[in-house]
Amino acid sequence: MSTHTIKRLPVDTGVSGWEAISERTAPVRMLDGNVTADWLIIGAGFAGLSAARRLSQLHPGDSIVVVDAHEVAKGPAGRNSGFMIDVPHSLSSGEYSVASESATALEIAQNRFAIAFAAAAAREYGMSADTFDPSGKINAAATERGLKLNVNYAQSLERIGEKFQMFDAAQMREITGSAYYHGGIYTPGTVMIQPAQYIRDLAAGLEGKITLFERSPIVELTRQGSGWSARSHNGTVHAPKVILGVNGHIEDFGHYQGRLLHVFTYASMTAAYSDDAFRKEVPGKARWALLPADPMGATVRKISSDGLSRIVIRTKFTYDPSIQVTPERVAAVAKEQRHSLDARFPELKSTALEFSWAGRLCLSRNSAAAFGEIEENLYSACCENGLGTVKSTLAGVMAAELASGTRSEFLDSFSHAPGPSKLPPRIITKLGVSSVIHWHEFWAGREG
């Protein structure tokens, strides 16, 4: 008998603005008592809910239970920047230029499959354009170095036949209302989502097809025969097969230890302000989404609804193997973000940052997913390498197909990809990762 005792539970610091302004339609239901199901999914984020949706398609008569340690959208799934990106990049590479043509073509196809899966869910469950918007994104440059990085990116896109459009400083001002940016490169295949609302709408759309238990952290997972028993504080779920969609916390279930990097990034959202009042000061579109030309720079989005707008800014990365950061850290970063926002939009200096939060990322040294059957009838769909909206959606779908014995176009290649490589000793890893982060942030400069 194999038993995994989970001693470290998820901690998410700060209130995500995405979650705060989203809506849910159903009350929270916690696991209470003994439950038997055909399938158990641990984690109700992009991976877990995508796996649940795919299982409901493959096995419409089966009982599917999803459990989450928090409420839906209060964890990492509701804390990211909301970019569903089709053309891949490596978060640690220092630029967005794509890799070899053959590897990139496969990854683009996988990413677009995941986006199509999400788009089908958005249509089926009636998600609004505020929640799911196939608008594309802009890599914005605020320095000469940033412009050169965008040129490199454009050249690599041209080599693989991907569409793009270059913007100059005047066009960037017309789009954003800010004179901060020197140029940009637009790529059309990215979908912009309101991440918390997307996750909540996905969970609501699955109502009647799955049973969802929230605030029900699994503290022990035990193999019983060929099946599994998952115990929470007030109840237990018994199921023949289990899918783990817990990202970096897969280590706490006894797998991939010494192979995963736990990184945090930080975001703030302004209070709502009148878009009409802002337009009197500077022009600009109602919605836009900017990635930095340097991946370590500032991600900035403007969202608008009913004449009111908000700016969301994401900056800074820290390596935290404890998978936890303090409120003081979040507050300190928020002060830095205030300066970054004021440099871009001095007209908004009187508009407060209403929400500030930290979000967990899981990376591997070789940018590989923690995916596959890790014990008999126990499957992992974890380690999204900083691209959780797409990579976790894909991993969830693939895990459902793998566990079902269903062959698909992408499953073979996804299953045979190498897993996360082993890390050096902890102290060397910490020094190395922290040094790389500081070095890249230094070079990002005004892009941050």
Tens of pLDDT, residues 305-332: 888 899 999 999 999 999 999 999 999 9
| The pLDDT of residue 296 | 85
Mean pLDDT (whole number) for 154-162: 90
CB crowding 3-22: b at 16 or more within 10 Å, else e: ebebeeebebbbbbbbbebb
| The pLDDT of residue 413 | 85
What value, to the nearest 5°, has the Cα angle with vertex 76 and ends 197 and 38?
80
| The pLDDT of residue 90 | 56
Residue 295 clears pLDDT 90, i.e. is over it: no
| The pLDDT of residue 405 | 95
Residue 280 clears pLDDT 80, i.e. is over it: no
| The pLDDT of residue 219 | 97
Residue 183 clears pLDDT 60, i.e. is over it: yes
- Give the residue numbers spanning the domain of 279: 3-447
Residue 189 clears pLDDT 70, i.e. is over it: yes
| The pLDDT of residue 305 | 85
Confidence of residue 184 (pLDDT cuts 50, 70, 90): very high
Distances, alpha carbon 184 to alpha carbons 144, 173, 290, 293, in Å: 12, 10, 9, 8
CATH of the domain at 97: 3.50.50.60
d(CA 342, CA 337): 8
Mean pLDDT (whole number) for 107-130: 96
| The pLDDT of residue 89 | 63
| The pLDDT of residue 345 | 94
Confidence of residue 160 (pLDDT cuts 50, 70, 90): confident
Q: What is the mean pLDDT of the chain?
A: 92
Q: What is the pLDDT of residues 205-230, one digit of tens each?
A: 999 999 999 999 999 999 998 899 99
E strands present in 199-352: 211-213, 220-224, 227-231, 235-239, 241-244, 260-270, 273-274, 288-292, 299-305, 308-319
Name the nearest CA neighbour of 78 among 29, 30, 137, 14.
Answer: 14
What value, to the nearest 5°, has the Cα angle with vertex 84 and ends 183 and 391?
130
Residue 52 clears pLDDT 90, i.e. is over it: yes
Q: What is the pLDDT of residues 168-181, one digit of tens each?
A: 999 999 999 999 99
In the chain, the number of structural domains is: 1
Name the nearest CA neighbour of 336 among 357, 309, 315.
Answer: 315
Residue 99 clears pLDDT 80, i.e. is over it: no
| The pLDDT of residue 271 | 96
d(CA 218, CA 233): 8
d(CA 41, CA 239): 10
Prediction pTM value: 0.95
Confidence of residue 1 (pLDDT cuts 50, 70, 90): low
Mean pLDDT (whole number) for 71-81: 96
Residue 396 clears pLDDT 90, i.e. is over it: yes
Residue 439 clears pLDDT 80, i.e. is over it: no
Range name among 54-58, 188-192, 267-271, 407-411 with the lowest pLDDT average: 407-411
Question: Per-residue DSSP letters for 195-218?
Answer: HHHHHHHHHHHTBTTBEEE-S---
Mean pLDDT (whole number) for 410-432: 89
Residue 352 clears pLDDT 80, i.e. is over it: yes
